[in-house]
Structure 1
Amino acid sequence: MNHLELIRQVEWKDLKKLSVKEMLIENNISLPWLFISLILAYHGYYGIALPFSGFYFLTALRQVHNGFHNSLGTGKLLTWLSLYLNSILMMASIHAVKFNHIRHHKFCLSEEDYEGKSASMKWYEAILYGPQHMFLIHWITLKKANTVYVKNMMVELLSIAVFISVVFYFQIHFLMYHLLIMLFGELLMAFFAVWTVHHDTHENPNVARTQRGFWKNKLTFSMFYHMEHHLFPAVPTIKLPELAERIDKTLPELHKKQTF
């Protein structure tokens, strides 16, 4: 059964709408983790701050990912602002990531899918590929994107450069810590955001890997419901657990490859 047949059998359009509470959660989910990590780092507790920094990176990725698909429940300006601010805090042009991610959905695991290159690698190759992946995302945006994407990318990269310069010039140690951890996170994106959810799925790329298990999905903020996301990219992350239940109920025979 291909992904188009799957889509026709599952009710999903009602899940696109967010309540006010859900909208506030999706737009602010990263902030508690950011503030806690920065406060701990400011006081020199870098080891304790580390898991909170990791959760910030994950939840910020969830936030901008919803922004890619216009699923934050806000207008264009606030969505753009979310992508811009998280670009500075996450150490990468999020509009460049968006451009490649939209292409990833369109050309999933084909030659034109530059985001998905690491899916065909071994796990350790995907980790080592991280720096090249980060460079390629920006380079492909420069070469293939329209002027709006390129302009947004350049504004974000310039803002990142200014932020880095200020932080290191004034020796703001807790922000130096944050920037280094975010850079480390970006270098692992090819593994965590691509390989884990797409390896060994080339026979039907749009039926990506997924994750079941209450605590696994709670600890990963529902980011590994990737099969559900590829089939229904307009559904906000906060609604993916409900979507997964509908898929399991409607198509119990569907083979689901687990992420971990």
Structure 2
Amino acid sequence: MPWLAASFLLADRRLWPLAAIASFMFFLTALRLNHEAIHGNLGFRKSGHRLVLHGLSALMLGSNTAVAFNHLRHHRHLGTTEDVEGACGRMTLWQVLLEGPCFPLRMHMEAWRHGGASLRRRMTIDLSSNVMLTGAALATMAPALLYHVGAMIVAQCLTALFAVWITHRECTDEEIARTQSSAVVNFLTYNMFLHLEHHLFPAVPVRRLGILARRIAAAQPELASKAQQVLPPFRIPDAVARIARRA
């Protein structure tokens, strides 16, 4: 919520580059919260997690109910033809950039076709909230609200790149996903790049994946040493690394 508030405030003052950074961070953190709700890791009942998905759908645009359907299939059918979400991981960078605008549409169509009547009803709630937000922006012509709608459309078009391709690119059949050993990078990205660990133990909350990564490295050092990195390693001051690990 602080990132969302900052993006609105900065957009209202026409500080567009800073507003874009705040919007990116809002979308990143919303993706993480959405991801936790999909896996039931927020400590709520099923109805509570569904409410989180609906609320985030209204803010992020699109239907997170559809995202949940495809993401759970991604875990069950990784690397198969039924893995619509993960297909982007097998593309080149230029292919996934071109795929970007089509990716959310394909995810919604797949969920609508195969998700059943109950899921379609929840998708309708999500998409209705999208229409209401967009309608409010057009009716009021409020710069901050218009900016937010535009920023979320752009973010949705880049989801294939940042949420799928970057953590699954160039993985072989034996490699589930990439991970990130840099404590600072994981701190700045809210642990979302510890994707190998997430696929191995999806019931572990994202905020605890750093602990899980250290335990896996201690128990199976050969797995940790062979794991592909999301971002290339770089040297950082030891003091900064210690702060990031504690966080």
Compute the TM-score of the two structures, normalised by the length of structure 1: 0.85
Contact 2:137 2:149 in 1 (8 A): no
How far does residue 45 in structure 1 lie from its aligned partner after superposition? 2.0
Give the AA of the match of 2:182.
G
Moved more, 42-51 or 141-150: 42-51
**1:199 is the counterpart of 2:169:** yes
Shift of residue 118, structure 1, vs aligned partner: 1.1
Q: Alpha-carbon deviation of 1:100? A: 0.3
Q: In the alignment, residue 259 of structure 1 is paired with which amino acid? A: V
Residue equivalent to 2:212 = 243
| Structure 2 gap ranges (5+) | 232-247
Q: Which has the higher contact order (CA 8 A, sep 6+)?
A: 1
Q: Provide, for residues 194-244 of structure 1, a one-character-per-residue CA deviation record: whole Å limited to 9, x for no partner.
A: 111111223125x21001111111111110000000000011110000000
User: Cα distance, 1:46 vs. partner?
Assistant: 2.1
Percent of counterpart pairs with the same letter?
A: 37
How far, CA to CA, are the matches of 2:174 and 2:150 in structure 1?
Answer: 37
Task: Confirm whether residue 123 of structure 1 aligns to residue 93 of structure 2.
Answer: yes
Which of 212, 216, 230 aligns to 2:185? It is 216
Which runs of no fewer than 5 residues in structure 1 stay unpaired? Answer: 1-30
Distance in 2 separating the partners of 1:195 and 1:144? 24
Question: CA separation in 2, counterparts of 1:33 and 1:148?
Answer: 33
Matches of 2:169 and 2:13, distance apart in 1: 41
SS at match of 2:101: helix
Structure-1 residue corresponding to 2:106? 136
SS at 2:42's partner residue?
coil
- CA displacement at 1:70 relative to structure 2: 0.1
Aligned residues: 229
Q: Deviation string for 1:147-187 (max 9, x for gaps)?
A: 22111111111110121012112101101111111111110
Equivalent in the alignment of 2:238: none
SS of 1:86's partner is: helix
Report the aligned-residue RMSD. Answer: 1.1
Asked if residue 162 in structure 1 is aligned to residue 132 in structure 2, the reply is yes
- Residue 79 (structure 1) aligns with: 49
Q: Is the 8 A contact 1:109 1:119 kept in 2?
A: no
Q: Determine whether 1:182 maps to 2:162.
A: no
Secondary structure of 1:253's counterpart equals helix
2:21 match: secondary structure: helix
Between 72-81 and 168-177, report the one with greater CA deviation: 72-81
